[in-house]
Amino acid sequence: MALLEVEDLSIGYRTRLGLHRAVEGVSFSLEEGKSLGFVGESGCGKTTVGMSLMGLLPRNGEVLRGRVLFEGRDILSISEEELRLLRWKKISMIFQAAMNALNPVKKVADQISEAILAHSSSVSKAEASRQVEGLFQLVGVPKERMRDYPHQYSGGMKQRAVIAMALACKPRLIIADEPTTALDVIVQAQILEETRLLQEQLGISIIFISHDISIVADVCHDIGIMYAGELVEYGSREEVFDSPAHPYTRALLSSFPTLTGNREMLKPIPGEPPNLVDPPKGCRFRERCQEASHECSLISPAWTELFPRHKVRCIRFERKKGPQ
Amino acid sequence: MKEETGTSFLSFDGVSKFYLSRGRMLGGSGRQVVALNRLTLDIRKGEIFGLVGESGSGKTTAGRLIVRLEEADRGIISVEGQDVTHLKGKRLKDFRKRVQMIFQDPYQSLNPQLSVLDTVSEPLLIHRVGDRLSRAEMVMNALQSVGLSPPGDFVHRFPHQMSGGQRQRVAIARAMVLRPDFVVADEPTSMLDASISAQIFNILLEMQKSLGITLLFITHSLAAARYLCDRIAVIYRGNLMELGPADDVIQRSRHPYTRALIDALPKFGQCGETERFNTFLKAERESSSTVGCAFFGRCSIANRILCSQEVPPFKTVSPGRRVACFFAEEQGKNLTASKTCHYGI
Ligand SMILES: Nc1ncnc2c1ncn2[C@@H]1O[C@H](COP(=O)(O)OP(=O)(O)OP(=O)(O)O)[C@@H](O)[C@H]1O
Ligand SMILES: Nc1ncnc2c1ncn2[C@@H]1O[C@H](COP(=O)(O)OP(=O)(O)OP(=O)(O)O)[C@@H](O)[C@H]1O
Ligand SMILES: [Mg+2]
Ligand SMILES: [Mg+2]
């Protein structure tokens, strides 16, 4: 059985203009010890998916439909009390821009040991600070910097501290939301490398969220491409990158340059994503799609299996595979 | 030594900038940070010149010195042969009309109280260009040229009514409206999605082509630099490490730090067997000396004695190509990436 199974998850935000359908019919599953990356442009609903798995949607956010099975239990229907027991101990999250959210007036090590003490009543103070030392070593922050305050850390060190915090209660699943976005390439490469190692050593499952496909490609076994609240393509890293199927995926890939060969013009995706208070009928990408036909505005595309795991939602594939 | 071809537009000659840091402990004594260390380079008229390095390497400092948000502590910055290092008064104001800067964070660099019209026309007002009507027209043209179209839809918007990409376009329009000769673009897309970044890059390329603007493009991504730049300079902790035509520096890098930057780029696609250079030490090497190569502490190929004691000269390895490394000639290994491998920007 998969560690996490998400079925038909749909989430909306109540706004002045109406219900904003931020996530629509998202399904995926994640095996123990595997990593899954969600990619898509800003506003496509990545953070919303992550927050819902933590049971931390903002007040105006609501799960409209769907199931989230974690260790076989539907965590959308359990009590807040039970959820509290899961959160941080079983599922933890590295929040987007979390490195700026460290408490500035507390020593970094103290913040982490407080997190440990808050979630396990059996742990003594001395034991907690021993664990913190181990965590610092694990994420590569020198021991002698434990007693520092956050402002004395560089961006990369703060991000490592945040990762240590997420690891503090030895969770089975970590949701990492844009964990390297504010960092430069060198530090980013180090953090990605460490993330990979941590995952291999500790067997933790990771959901990696980023708008940057190149980063997700670096760490994840499986990739889910999101557009305007929907998953549009899903598969192993090799399947998605070697034979990208959805026009949106292909368009995303062509926004990245190469280092050798001719310098070809990058072809950015024209236009903007649709308004999700009143989402368009049919395919949500069709207005920006170079390959759209009239049908795309009529029919909402269904999943087509290209390979056992590689799936795409685009009617061009439905036609190819459909009954003759 | 000026071995290069093309007319120099802007040059740094031994430019240094120092800051006093507040020290690690609160209230600790200020330590001097060398943000730029005797930087010497030429930027040619009409080119896009890339300044590449990790965080803290002094890229923004270089940009701020050019547009005179700050003044150099040592050395000379000149534009078309004229020393502009310490301009004052009216001459400074005239100079500022010719050089503009686009900042990293479009969320912070735009005044939330000002509409797009006010934001983009502000430089025109400051420099008393045109009348109300002609200013409005210049604003419309600038918005059109950065792809905010139709401009009428945007002029009355405020920053919070726009996406990050739209805001950065407004910032570019503001920088371009005076038709400057020179623009510093400081990591203009680091907060944006790749697709939006690509749009912004293409706008900058278009500006260079159609308006003949000279650009300094600041980035930590060699992949972004390769796409945009004619030539690039790689700096580490304020020191120039490698300089040359963009393709040459990337495909035939000679400096171990440049190679570390290549290794660090996230990549995807059909990359085949991309050989890593592995020139970057995981843990910084202890080094007590303040002499020697700036990169010594992180360099996996360093000679412990030579590199810690002597500053490598910035020598020419081929026409227009300069490298500050004792082992530059021995670094014959070239980049093996395939043409279908894509890199993060
Ligand atoms: N509390 C909220 N109330 C109303 N709308 C919201 C709220 N939070 C998010 N949204 C909207 O829901 C959509 C999805 O937001 P989400 O933060 O999940 O996107 P994202 O993919 O994480 O984007 P980014 O890459 O910018 O972080 C966006 O259009 C956003 O504006
Ligand atoms: N006002 C300042 N006071 C003290 N130190 C400063 C100041 N501005 C910059 N520095 C220091 O100068 C060095 C160079 O900083 P700079 O901002 O130019 O780097 P950068 O290459 O632009 O980095 P990034 O990629 O993070 O923007 C750094 O060590 C920085 O901490
Ligand atoms: Mg997000
Ligand atoms: Mg900077």
Statement: residue B192 has pLDDT above 70: yes
- B51 at A interface, C-beta within 8 A: no
CA distance A177 to chain B (A): 15
Residue at A164 is within a domain = yes
Statement: residue A323 has pLDDT above 70: no
Q: Residues A15, A164: one domain?
A: no
Mean pLDDT to the nearest integer, A270-292:
93
Give pLDDT, residue B3.
Answer: 45
Q: Residues A57, A137: one domain?
A: no
Do the Cβ atoms of A247 and A283 come closer than 8 Å? no
Residue at A320 is within a domain = no
Q: What is chain A's mean pLDDT, rounded? A: 92
Residues of chain A contacting B297 with CB distance shorter than 8 Å: none
Give pLDDT, residue B169.
Answer: 92
- ipTM surpassing 0.85, yes or no? yes
The tens digit of pLDDT for each residue in A14-38 reads: 999 899 999 999 999 999 999 999 9
Statement: residue A183 has pLDDT above 90: no
Last-in-domain residue among A147, A170, A193: A170
CATH number for the domain spanning A292: value is 3.40.50.300
Give pLDDT, residue A301.
Answer: 95
Task: Assign B117 a pLDDT band (cuts: 50, 70, 90).
Answer: very high
Chain A residue nearest residue B229, CA to CA: A263
Mean pLDDT to the nearest integer, A142-166:
89
Domain count, chain A: 2
Last-in-domain residue among A170, A203, A223: A170
Residues of chain A contacting B338 with CB distance shorter than 8 Å: 260
Statement: residue B45 has pLDDT above 80: yes
Q: Of A211, A260, A267, which is closest to B251 when you measure between CB atoms?
A: A260
The interface residues of chain B toward chain A in range 130-149, judged by CB-CB distance below 8 A, are none
Q: Residues A175, A207: one domain?
A: yes
Q: Is the pTM of this model over 0.80?
A: yes
Q: Residues A158, A188: one domain?
A: no
- Taking the centre of ligand 2 as the mean of its atom positions, its distance from the CA of residue B62, in whole angstroms, is 10
Do the Cβ atoms of A256 and B193 come within 8 Å? Answer: no
Do the Cβ atoms of A214 and B342 come within 8 Å? Answer: yes
Do the Cβ atoms of B222 and A259 come within 8 Å? Answer: yes
Write the residue with the smallest CA distance to atom 30 of ligand 2: B56
Residue at A318 is within a domain = no
Task: Assign B226 a pLDDT band (cuts: 50, 70, 90).
Answer: very high
- Best of B33, B48, B167, B193 to substitute, by most chain A Cβ atoms within 10 angstroms, is B193
Do the Cβ atoms of B343 and A242 come within 8 Å? Answer: no
Q: Residues A178, A292: one domain?
A: yes
Residue at A245 is within a domain = yes
Identify the CA nearest to B185 among candidates B211, B158, B224: B224
First-to-last alpha carbon distance for chain B, in angstroms, is 33
- Across the A/B interface, how many CB contacts are shorter than 8 Å? 138
Residue at A308 is within a domain = yes
Other C-beta atoms within 10 Å of B168: how many?
30
Report the DSSP beta bridge partners of residue A9.
A26
Mean pLDDT to the nearest integer, A203-218:
93
Residues of chain B contacting A260 with CB distance shorter than 8 Å: 251, 335, 337-339, 341
- Best of A153, A158, A186 to substitute, by most chain B Cβ atoms within 10 angstroms, is A186
Residue at A322 is within a domain = no
Give pLDDT, residue A207.
Answer: 97
Last-in-domain residue among A170, A203, A222: A170
Write the residue with the smallest CA distance to atom 25 of ligand 2: B55
Q: Residues A176, A259: one domain?
A: yes
Give pLDDT, residue A71.
Answer: 95
The tens digit of pLDDT for each residue in A92-112 reads: 999 888 877 889 999 999 999
Mean pLDDT to the nearest integer, B226-233:
97
Residues of chain A contacting B24 with CB distance shorter than 8 Å: 148, 152
Do the Cβ atoms of A188 and B341 come within 8 Å? Answer: no
Q: Residues A134, A197: one domain?
A: no
Do the Cβ atoms of A195 and A176 come closer than 8 Å? yes
The tens digit of pLDDT for each residue in B239-286 reads: 999 999 999 999 999 999 999 999 999 998 888 777 889 999 988 887
- Percentage with pLDDT > 90 across chain B: 75
Report the DSSP beta bridge partners of residue B232.
B50, B244
Which position has the token pair 């990293």? Answer: B104
Give pLDDT, residue B5.
Answer: 65
Report the DSSP beta bridge partners of residue B36.
B17
Mean pLDDT to the nearest integer, A269-278:
90
Mean pLDDT to the nearest integer, B319-342:
86
| Structural domain range at position A247 | 4-90+171-312
Statement: residue B29 has pLDDT above 70: no
C-alpha torsion A117→A181→A189→A221, nearest 10:
80
Residues of A in CB contact (< 8 Å) with B are 41-42, 148, 152, 154-155, 183-190, 192, 211-215, 217-218, 237, 241-242, 251-253, 255-261, 263, 265-269, 272
Contact residues of ligand 1, CB 6 A cut-off? A 13, 15, 20, 22, 42-48, 58, 60-61, 96, 211
The tens digit of pLDDT for each residue in A58-88 reads: 999 999 999 999 999 999 999 999 998 899 8
Residue at A317 is within a domain = no
Residue at A321 is within a domain = no
Q: What is chain B's mean pLDDT, rounded? A: 91
- B197 at A interface, C-beta within 8 A: yes
Mean pLDDT to the nearest integer, B319-334:
87
Do the Cβ atoms of B46 and B35 come closer than 8 Å? no
Task: Assign B2 a pLDDT band (cuts: 50, 70, 90).
Answer: very low
Q: Residues A119, A224: one domain?
A: no
Do the Cβ atoms of A185 and B163 come within 8 Å? Answer: no
Token representation of residue A294: 């009239």
- Percentage with pLDDT > 70 across chain A: 99
Write the residue with the smallest CA distance to atom 13 of ligand 2: B35
Give pLDDT, residue A112.
Answer: 92
Q: Residues A194, A293: one domain?
A: yes
Give pLDDT, residue B1.
Answer: 40
Residues of chain B contacting A214 with CB distance shorter than 8 Å: 194, 265-268, 342-345
Which ligand is closest in space to the CA of residue B58? 2
Write the residue with the smallest CA distance to atom 26 of ligand 2: B55
Q: Residues A276, A155: one domain?
A: no
Between residues B288 and A225, the one the model is more confident about: A225
Do the Cβ atoms of A268 and B196 come within 8 Å? Answer: yes
Q: Residues A200, A264: one domain?
A: yes
Q: Residues A189, A293: one domain?
A: yes
